[in-house]
Amino acid sequence: MTNPPPIYGKAVYGAAVYTSANQRKTMTHLLRVLLAFKSSPDHSLGELGGRVIKGMTGNPAYMNPTITMAALQLLLTAFTDAVASQQEGGPIATANKVAARTALIMELRKLAGYVQANCNNDLPTLLSSGFDAVASHGASVPLATPVITGITNGQMTGQMLVAVGAVNNAKCFEIRYATIIGQTVGPWQSGGMFTNSRSMALGGLVAGTNYAIEVRAIGGSTKYSEWSAGSSHMSL
Give the span between the Cα atoms of 56 and 50, in whole angstroms: 10
Q: What is the pTM of this model?
A: 0.55
Give the span between the Cα atoms of 182 and 214, in whole angstroms: 19
Same domain, 122 and 40: yes
Nearest 5°: CA angle at 181, between 177 and 163? Answer: 30
Measured CA distances, 150 to 84, 90, 163, 179 (Å): 46, 57, 5, 18
Measured CA distances, 44 to 88, 117, 142, 155, 221 (Å): 20, 24, 23, 40, 21
149 neighbors 233 (Cβ within 8 angstroms): no
pLDDT bucket at 215, cuts 50 / 70 / 90:
very high
Same domain, 157 and 197: yes
pLDDT at 221 over 80: no
SS3 content of the chain, % helix, strand, coil (to 5): 30, 30, 40
pLDDT at 12 over 70: no
Report whether the peptide linkage leading into residue 65 is cis, meaning its omega lies within 30 degrees of zero: no
Determine the angle formed by the axes of helices 42-56 and 91-118, rounding to 10 degrees: 40
- Give the domain-ending residue among 127, 162, 180: 127
Give the span between the Cα atoms of 196 and 192, in whole angstroms: 12
Same domain, 102 and 171: no
pLDDT for 68-103, tens place per residue?
Answer: 999 999 999 999 999 888 877 788 888 999 999 999
Same domain, 196 and 158: yes
pLDDT for 162-180, tens place per residue?
Answer: 999 888 778 899 999 999 9
Average pLDDT (38-47) is: 87
The two beta strands, 14-21 and 170-181, are unpaired
For the stretch 39-43, contacts whose Cβ atoms lie closer than 8 Å and that sit 24 or more positions apart, written own/partner, are 42/79, 42/83, 42/97, 42/101, 43/83
- Give the domain-ending residue among 77, 93, 127: 127
Residue 212 domain-assigned? yes
Number of domains the chain contains: 2
Domain span at 158: 148-234
